[in-house]
């Protein structure tokens, strides 16, 4: 049995990852700000091999209580997530990503633990040449545009990851997720927010033209890719895109959610003007498409759940969880 630490383990992706780890019999410690008690299906305390350590990844002393000498592997997910947060509190975004990741990497090195770091498609910025392979360029806007704080801070964290690997031999792997969605996601992202609004009888928002594209990845597929990366010796020192390669416009995704949810009072969308709401602090990414063939080839990763099926599962879950719809 391995002892595994998951930072941000009570978050959206983290809670699905922790479920998988506990179910396969690992000993798991979550390190997070807060214990998510709203969803009774994630009552991890019923597992004898589960432990929760509360704290902030920017606080190395708190982290030391979680990443103890017997830890074999650390999945580092803790991060400030959500475009509204990148725009409203970029200082915190940068602190958690840069200071937090440095703490996790140094402590893991001291403890002899392997690390998997969850990064993001945002690191590629607005590079117009899609699909993006792992070593493609990063194309970003001005530092006066706060939304790039997340991309830049995650890229800084990746630089630290590779430097720790190259300089100290830390066994570490980066996975870059592309628009992950599914049950329990905070309803502030295009899929989760649309489902939340539709099931509450409100029209989903359509951001600007709705022609922006994303490659939506169901959470189980993201978790599977993360576990495959963690289990592969050849993945040490490597980075993998983990994302669907099917490009969908925001308009089509939202329309699909309306159709699948099939709520009588909701048949169209409400326009949302990002320039009016966020001003110059925001800039959208017109197309976001991964080349995920490296993960397919080297990890054996496959996308199992397409958008239609993933929407259906997420909508079914939301309907069965009234607490979520009230949140
Ligand atoms: N969901 C996506 O579409 C997506 C896409 C790309 C990358 N990612 C990455 O995947 C990871 C998980 O994302 P998520 O969607 O589950 O986000 P989330 O916001 O649901 O979860 C993040 C968790 O980290 C915790 N956390 C935040 N700051 C912390 C701190 N300073 N100290 C301790 N805990 C802290 C939060 O309490 C939360 O439980 C993140 O690293 C994110 O950057 C997610």
pLDDT tens-place string over residues 175-192: 999 999 999 999 999 999
Give the model's pLDDT for residue 42: 82
Q: pLDDT tens digits for 219-247?
A: 999 999 999 999 999 999 999 999 999 99
Q: pLDDT tens digits for 192-204?
A: 999 999 999 999 9
Rounded-to-integer distance, Cα 82 and Cα 131, Å = 23
Rounded-to-integer distance, Cα 8 and Cα 15, Å = 8
Give the model's pLDDT for residue 211: 97
Give the model's pLDDT for residue 282: 80
- 52 close to ligand 1 (CB < 6 Angstrom): no
- Catalytic annotation on 124? no
Residue nearest to atom 37 of ligand 1 (CA): 33
Give the model's pLDDT for residue 37: 63
Tell me the CA–centroid distance for residue 80 and ligand 1, in Å: 6
Among 52, 64, 66, 78, the mutation site with the greatest number of ligand 1 atoms within 8 A of its Cβ is 78
Task: Give the number of the atom of ligand 1 that is nearest the alpha carbon of residue 185.
Answer: 20
Rounded-to-integer distance, Cα 303 and Cα 238, Å = 20
CA 175: distance to chain centroid? 10
Give pTM, 2 decimals. Answer: 0.97
Rounded-to-integer distance, Cα 286 and Cα 314, Å = 25
Task: Give the number of the atom of ligand 1 that is nearest the alpha carbon of residue 57.
Answer: 32
Confidence band (pLDDT; 50, 70, 90) for 74?
A: very high
Give the residue-averaged pLDDT of 18-29: 97
Q: What is the chain's alpha carbon radius of gyration, rounded to the nearest angstrom?
A: 19
Q: Single out the residue of 301, 182, 291, 17 nearest to residue 6, CA to CA.
A: 17
Beta-carbon contacts of 138 under 8 Å, excluding residues fewer than 6 positions away, are: 123, 124, 125, 127, 151, 155
Give the model's pLDDT for residue 265: 94
Give the model's pLDDT for residue 189: 95
Beta-carbon contacts of 24 under 8 Å, excluding residues fewer than 6 positions away, are: none
Greater model confidence, 41 or 95: 95
Does the structure show a pLDDT above 90 at 283?
no
Q: pLDDT tens digits for 154-174?
A: 999 999 999 999 999 999 999
Does the structure show a pLDDT above 90 at 327?
no
- 186 close to ligand 1 (CB < 6 Angstrom): yes
């Amino acid at each position: 049995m391995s002892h595994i630490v998951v930072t941000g383990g009570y978050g959206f992706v983290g809670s699905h990852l922790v479920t998988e780890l506990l179910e396969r019999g690992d000993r798991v410690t979550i390190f997070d700000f807060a214990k998510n008690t709203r969803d009774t299906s994630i009552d991890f305390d019923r597992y004898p091999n589960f432990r929760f350590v509360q704290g902030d990844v920017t606080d190395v002393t708190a982290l030391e209580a979680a990443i103890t000498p017997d830890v074999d592997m650390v999945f580092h997910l803790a991060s400030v997530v959500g475009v509204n947060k990148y725009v409203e509190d970029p200082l915190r975004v940068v602190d958690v990503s840069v200071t937090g990741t440095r703490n996790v990497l140094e402590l893991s090195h001291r403890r002899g633990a392997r690390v998997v770091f969850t990064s993001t498609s945002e690191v590629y910025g607005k590079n117009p040449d899609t699909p993006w392979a792992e070593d493609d360029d990063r194309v970003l806007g001005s530092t006066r545009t706060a939304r790039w704080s997340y991309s830049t801070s995650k890229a800084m964290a990746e630089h630290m990851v590779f430097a720790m690997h190259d300089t100290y031999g830390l066994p570490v792997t980066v996975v870059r997720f592309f628009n992950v969605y599914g049950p329990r996601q905070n309803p502030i992202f295009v899929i989760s927010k649309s489902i939340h609004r539709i099931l509450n009888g409100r029209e989903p928002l359509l951001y600007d033209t709705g022609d922006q594209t994303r490659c939506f990845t169901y959470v189980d597929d993201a978790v599977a890719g993360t576990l495959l990366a963690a289990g592969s010796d050849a993945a040490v020192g490597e980075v993998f895109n983990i994302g669907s390669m099917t490009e969908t416009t925001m308009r089509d995704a939202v329309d699909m959610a309306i159709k699948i949810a099939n709520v009588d009072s909701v048949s169209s969308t409400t326009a949302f003007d990002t320039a009016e709401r966020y001003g110059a602090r925001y800039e959208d990414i017109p197309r976001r498409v991964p080349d995920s063939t490296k993960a397919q080839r080297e990890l054996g990763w496959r996308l199992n759940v397409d958008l239609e099926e993933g929407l259906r599962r997420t909508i079914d879950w939301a309907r069965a969880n009234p607490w979520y719809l009230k949140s």
